[in-house]
Amino acid sequence: RAYVFGEDVKFGGVFRCTSGLADAFGTHRVFNTPLCEQGLVGFGIGLAAMGNRAIAEIQFGDYIFPAFDQATAKFRYRSGNAFNCGGLTVRSPYGAVGHGGHYHSQSPEAFFCHVPGLKVVIPRNPSQAKGLLLASIRDPNPVIFFEPKWLYRLSVDEVPEGDYMLPLSKAEVIREGTDITLVAWGAQLAVMQQACAEAEKEGISCELIDLRTLIPWDKELVEASVNKTGKLIVSHEAPVTGGFGAEIAATIAERCFLRLEAPIARVCGLDTPFPLVFEPFYMPTANKVSMA
Amino acid sequence: MGLLPLLLRGAPKRFLRASGSYRSLYESNSRRRRHGTDAAAADQAVNSRADHRPDDQMLDFPGAKAAFTSRMEFISPNAAEAVPCFRILDDLGRALDGSDIPEVDSSLAVKMYHTMVRLQTFDSIFYEAQRQGRISFYLTNIGEEALNVASAAALTKDDVVFPQYREHGVLMWRGFTLDEFANQCFSNEAGHGKGRQMPIHYGSEKLNYFTISSPIATQLPHAVGAAYGLKMDRKNACAVTYFGDGGSSEGDFHAACNFAAVLEAPVLFVCRNNGYAISTPACEQYKGDGIVVRGRGYGMTSIRVDGNDALAVFKAVSAARKLAVEQSKPVLIEAMTYRVGHHSTSDDSTKYRSGEEIAHWRSVRDPVLRFRRWLESNAWWSVEDEKELRGAARKEVISAMNQAEKKNKPPLSELFTDVYDTLPRNLLEQEATLRDTVSKNPPSLAPH
| Model confidence pLDDT, tens digit, residues B201-228 | 999 999 999 999 999 999 999 999 999 9
Q: Is A104 a catalytic residue?
A: yes
Q: Closest chain B residue to A141 measured between Cα atoms?
A: B420
pLDDT higher than 50, residue B22: no
* pLDDT for res B55: 52
Q: Closest chain A residue to B256 measured between Cα atoms?
A: A39
Please state, in angstroms and rounded to a whole number, the distance separating the CA atoms of residues B252 and B214. 14
Mean pLDDT for B258-269 is 98
Residue B70 pLDDT class (50, 70, 90 cuts): very high
What residues pair up with A266 in beta bridges, in sequence order?
A234
Question: B292 exposed, middle or buried (CB, 10 Å; 0-12, 13-18, 19+)?
Answer: buried
How many structural domains does chain A have?
Answer: 2
The answer on A211 and A79 residing in a single domain is no
Mean pLDDT for B45-73 is 76
Instruction: List the one residue out of B129, B249, B164, B180 whose CA is nearest residue B404.
Output: B180
Catalytic annotation, residues of B: 128, 214, 343-344
Residue B24 pLDDT class (50, 70, 90 cuts): very low
DSSP, collapsed to helix, strand or coil, labels residue B356 as helix
* pLDDT for res B234: 97
- Degrees, nearest 5: CA angle A192-A284-A58: 95
Mean pLDDT of chain A: 92
Note whether residue A202 is domain-resident: yes
The answer on A179 and A143 residing in a single domain is no
Q: Do A76 and B419 touch (CB under 8 A)?
A: yes
Note whether residue A92 is domain-resident: yes
| Model confidence pLDDT, tens digit, residues B226-238 | 999 999 999 999 9
Distance (Å) of CA A236 to CA A98, A110, A122: 16, 10, 12
- B contacts of A33 (beta carbons < 8 Å): 259, 262-263
Q: Which residues are CB-contacts of A102 (< 8 A; sequence separation ≥ 6)?
A: A62, A273, A274, A275, A276
Note whether residue A119 is domain-resident: yes
pLDDT higher than 90, residue B354: yes
Q: By the CB < 8 Å criterion, does A140 face chain B?
A: yes
Note whether residue A163 is domain-resident: no
pLDDT higher than 60, residue B17: no
Q: Give the ipTM.
A: 0.92
Q: Do A66 and B251 touch (CB under 8 A)?
A: yes
Task: Name the residue with higher pLDDT: B162 or B103.
Answer: B162
DSSP secondary structure code for residue B13 in this structure: G
Last residue of a domain, one of A125, A154, A183: A154
Question: B141 exposed, middle or buried (CB, 10 Å; 0-12, 13-18, 19+)?
Answer: buried
Q: Strand (E) positions, B285-330?
A: 301-306
CB-CB: which of A45, A80, A169 is closest to B424? A169
Please report, for the domain that includes residue A207, its CATH number.
3.40.50.920
The answer on A177 and A147 residing in a single domain is no
* Cβ contact B321:B268 at 8 Å: yes
* pLDDT for res B269: 98
Q: Do B211 and A82 touch (CB under 8 A)?
A: yes
Note whether residue A180 is domain-resident: yes
Q: Which residue range(s) make up the domain with A202?
A: 172-291
**What is the pTM (predicted TM-score) of this model?**
0.90
pLDDT higher than 80, residue B26: no
Q: Do B232 and A28 touch (CB under 8 A)?
A: yes
Omega before A216 cis (within 30°)? Answer: yes
pLDDT higher than 50, residue A232: yes
Which of A195-199, A216-220, B138-142 has the lowest average pLDDT? Answer: A195-199
Mutate to test the interface with A, among B418, B421, B423, B425 (most CBs of A within 10 A): B418
DSSP, collapsed to helix, strand or coil, labels residue B62 as coil
The answer on A140 and A177 residing in a single domain is no
* pLDDT for res A69: 86
A&B contacts, CB < 8 Å: 167
The answer on A176 and A147 residing in a single domain is no
Please report, for the domain that includes residue A7, its CATH number.
3.40.50.970
Helix (H) or strand (E) holding A88: strand A88-94
Q: By the CB < 8 Å criterion, does B223 face chain A?
A: yes
User: What are the helix (H) ranges across chain A?
Assistant: 21-25, 37-49, 68-71, 75-78, 109-112, 126-138, 150-154, 188-201, 219-229, 244-256, 279-282, 286-291
Q: By the CB < 8 Å criterion, does B201 face chain A?
A: yes
CB atoms within 10 A of CB A179: 15
Mean pLDDT of chain B: 90
DSSP secondary structure code for residue B211 in this structure: P
Q: Which residues are CB-contacts of A183 (< 8 A; sequence separation ≥ 6)?
A: A171, A209, A211, A222, A232, A233, A234, A235, A248
Please state, in angstroms and rounded to a whole number, the distance separating the CA atoms of residues A247 and A268. 13
Q: Which of residues 387-426 of B touch A (CB under 8 A)?
A: 414, 417-421, 424-426
Residue B50 pLDDT class (50, 70, 90 cuts): low
The answer on A30 and A121 residing in a single domain is yes
Note whether residue A167 is domain-resident: no
Q: Closest chain B residue to A82 measured between Cα atoms?
A: B205
Note whether residue A69 is domain-resident: yes
The answer on A144 and A36 residing in a single domain is yes
| Model confidence pLDDT, tens digit, residues B192-203 | 999 999 999 999
